[in-house]
Amino acid sequence: MSYRDLREFLKVLENENQLVRIKDEVMPEPDLSAIGRAAPNVESAPAVFVEHVKGYKNPVVLNVHGSWQNHALMLGLPKDTPVRAQFFELEKIWNRYPIKPTWVEKKDAPVKEVVIDKGINLFDILPLFRINEFDAGFYLSKALIVSRDPNHPDSYDEQNAGTYRIQVKGKDKVGIQPLPFHDIAVHLRHAEEKNEPLPIAICLGNDPVLSFMASTPIEYAQSEYDFAGALKGEPIELTKSESGLLDIPARSEVVLEGYIMPREREIEGPFGEFPGSYSGARSQPIVKITKVTHRKNPIFENLYLGMPWTEIDYLMALNTSLPLYKQVKRDFPEVQAVNAMYTHGIGTIISTKSRFGGYGKAVAMRLLSTPHGMPYTKVVIVVDEFVDPFNLEQVMWAITTRVRPDKDVFKILFAPGMPLDPSSEPAGMHTKLVIDATTPVAPDIARDTELLGTPEKSDEYTEIIRNLVQQLRKGEKND
């Protein structure tokens, strides 16, 4: 790909007319959150680079992943690549895993240009702002957090690079939310069993593929860095943290190093979360920041999240869909595609061929037993293989013409749920809903339904019409 880090990707976006710059000075509040909310509402939803924030010395960039055009460019595809095509391209490059990283000496790593180990004050380094009005404080919502399992400190594959919300609580103290099903929660549990601090690195302003993988539900012993290399087709550059205990991206903008204090909790939240509502306040672990490294003139990248669709929905759409697809397809090869783009997979659509009667229900239950589907997915819709799960008009056709509510809809009571979903009660418990919108096959009762065929040459003319539309758009821009 034609970029190695966030800075170079911003140049790609700018060259493709997918980045705009705000040169006038703006207030940190409410302007920055308003910009983050507004950008996805604009045609093509560009990234927004804010050059001057009142009271701060460093610039802010928002909405880097916040459109399908930006998402395609991240994958090295033409920016007008349709969503379905991006899904299958992602599947193809996913299979290049693993591509191992290359190592950069500390002295050569851009993120080590400035090292602060005394008098740390996050308010001097980061242009902090509340993402939503009633947030409990300033949040880092697009950080990549690195941790290792203290029971296996030398295991590279059991090192985790994940995204968890971070609340700034003081000049050198932050809070973190590790939910029980997150990998970092496993690391923290093992550390607290020994009453030991858990070293972590909070990396900000990353290669967009790293941000993509940090929010991807892969398996516990799989490396986000190796997957990011696979997606790029070339190794990610890593370097050692100042402590020497963790592997961090060499080209991040800012890295906050420290440790989670064992068996200590403080109130964290509320925070405006991805389902479009505020989460409650809960007792969460505390992180003491001991060192900060950053590039000269660092760019602060943050992410607005609220009622869909915002940047987080684009960021978590296909990276939620593809792992679920790969996991379910291993056992059910008839599965054609999985669309888990809706609220981080709380709503998921699966298309599959049916091998025998009731097959759609079995596919749904397999998805609900995956590591991500078990806590997150609440509503599953299963459609036939000829229904495009990324085309909601076709999905609604399947629901309205294939579903008998008395036999094709069922609930699973008191199942694991996502505590940030405001409908979970108690928090972390769901009633799952499955809608089987597939055409019945034997031994189920088949129906006398003759599907309309597709006129010959329709695919050929689809492409012709698509090209004509693109020419019209180019003409409008030239005018």
Give per-residue pLDDT as tens, 366-401. Answer: 999 998 999 999 999 999 999 999 999 999 999 999
Q: What confidence score (pLDDT) does residue 244 get?
A: 93
Average pLDDT of the segment spanning 346-354? 96
Average pLDDT of the segment spanning 261-284? 91
Helix (H) or strand (E) holding 405: helix 405-408
Confidence grade of residue 111 (pLDDT, cut at 50, 70, 90): very high
Tokens, residue 475: 């003409």
Return the minimum-mean-pLDDT range out of 97-111, 157-171, 374-388, 465-479: 465-479
Residues 240-251 have pLDDT tens digits of 999 999 999 999
Q: 252: closest CA among 303, 200, 208?
A: 208
Confidence grade of residue 477 (pLDDT, cut at 50, 70, 90): low
Which DSSP letter does residue 289 get? E
Burial of 430 (0-12, 13-18, 19+ CB in 10 A): buried
Based on the residue annotation, tell me whether 301 is a catalytic residue of this protein. no
Average pLDDT of the segment spanning 189-203? 97
pLDDT averaged over every residue in the chain: 93
pLDDT at 41 over 70: yes
Return the minimum-mean-pLDDT range out of 67-71, 228-232, 376-380, 427-431: 427-431
Q: What confidence score (pLDDT) does residue 427 get?
A: 85
Instruction: Note whether 70 and 45 are within 8 A (CB).
Output: yes
DSSP string computed for 164-210: --EEEEETTEEEE---TTSHHHHHHHHHHHTT--EEEEEEES--HHH
Average pLDDT of the segment spanning 349-374? 95
* 3-state SS, one letter per residue, for 37-103: HHHHHCCCCCEEEECCECCCCCCEEECCCCCHHHHHHHCCCCCCCCHHHHHHHHHHHHCCCCCCCEE
> Residue 97 contacts by C-beta under 8 Å, 6 or more apart in sequence?
222, 226, 227, 230
Q: What confidence score (pLDDT) does residue 335 get?
A: 97
pLDDT at 108 over 80: yes
Burial of 44 (0-12, 13-18, 19+ CB in 10 A): middle
Q: Which amino acid is at 479?
A: D
pLDDT at 439 over 80: yes
Pairing mode, strands 347-352 and 379-384? parallel
Q: What confidence score (pLDDT) does residue 413 get?
A: 95
Buried b (16+ CB within 10 A) or exposed e, 176-201: bbbeebbbbbbbbebbbeeeebbbbb
Domains of the chain and any CATH numbers: 6-312 (2.30.110.10), 316-437 (3.40.1670.10)
Return the minimum-mean-pLDDT range out of 128-132, 181-185, 436-440: 181-185
Burial of 54 (0-12, 13-18, 19+ CB in 10 A): exposed
> What is the CA 471 to chain-centroid distance, rounded?
33
Instruction: Note whether 152 and 392 are within 8 A (CB).
Output: no
Return the minimum-mean-pLDDT range out of 81-85, 88-92, 279-283: 279-283
Percent of the chain with pLDDT over 90: 80
Q: What confidence score (pLDDT) does residue 218 get?
A: 87
Confidence grade of residue 449 (pLDDT, cut at 50, 70, 90): low
Out of 268, 273, 301, 311, the active site residue is: 273
Tokens, residue 372: 């991500």
Average pLDDT of the segment spanning 83-93? 94
Q: What confidence score (pLDDT) does residue 478 get?
A: 54
pLDDT at 129 over 60: yes
pLDDT at 453 over 70: no
